[in-house]
Amino acid sequence: NISVNVFESKIPFSEFKVSEAGLIPVITQDYKTGEVLMLAYMNEEAYNRTVTEGRMTYYSRSRKCLWLKGESSGHYQYVKALYTDCDKDTLLAKVRQIGPACHTGNKSCFYTGLLNNEYKESDPYRILQSVYGVI
C-alpha cells in the first residue's frame, strides 16, 4: 500500500565526479524528519536503477555487487527526492524508510555519539517535532 514514484534524471550519471572505482557517495535522509539514516555508494547501474525503479539501490563495496536496499530485510527506501551538490561529487537522497535503515535495528546508522558533552536536543523546535510525531 505504498505509492512508488518512478523518475527520470535531469543529469546523466556521466556528469557526476566519481572515484577511481566509479562510485559516488550517497547521503540518505528521512524525507519527513530530516534524520540522516546512512551513507552508501552508487555506481552508474545502481543510480539508474534507483531513478527508474524509485527504490534505493546501492553498490556494495564489500560484496562488490548491486544492493537493492531492503531486498532481504523488507526495509526498502522509497525515493522522494534526489539532489547533487555544487561540485557534483556527492548525492543526497530523501526517502521514505520502511523499518530501520541500519542492520543493527537502529533507525539510523549514526547512533554512536563521539563527544562527551554534546548538545542535547531538548529545544522547543525538537519538541514541536515530537508533538507532530504523535498527532
Residue 121, all three cell numbers: 536536543
Residue 48 CB coordination number (10 Å)? 15
CB 35 → a second copy: shortest distance, Å? 7
Segment (H or E) for 59: strand 57-60
Site residues (CB under 8 A) for a second copy, limited to 27-56: 27, 29, 31-36, 38-39, 51
Check residue 110 for interaction with a second copy (CB under 8 A).
yes
Total residues at interface with a second copy (CB under 8 A):
53
Question: By rule CB under 8 A, what string of x and - marks binding of each residue 62-101 to a second copy?
Answer: -----------------xxxxxxxxxx-xxx-x-------
Q: For residues 45 and 85, which CB has a smaller minimum distance to a second copy in the complex?
A: 85
Long-range CB contact pairs, 76-81, < 8 A, 24+: 77/28, 77/37, 77/101, 78/2, 78/4, 78/5, 78/54, 79/5, 79/7, 79/50, 79/51, 79/54, 79/55, 80/5, 80/31, 81/31
Q: For residues 10 and 64, which CB has a smaller minimum distance to a second copy in the complex?
A: 10
Question: Among 104, 107, 130, 134, which residue sits at the site for a second copy (rule: CB under 8 A)?
Answer: 104
Pair type for strands 77-84 and 91-97:
antiparallel
Per CB under 8 A, residues contacting a second copy are: 5, 7-11, 25, 27, 29, 31-36, 38-39, 51, 79-88, 90-92, 94, 102-104, 106, 109-119, 123-125, 128-129, 132
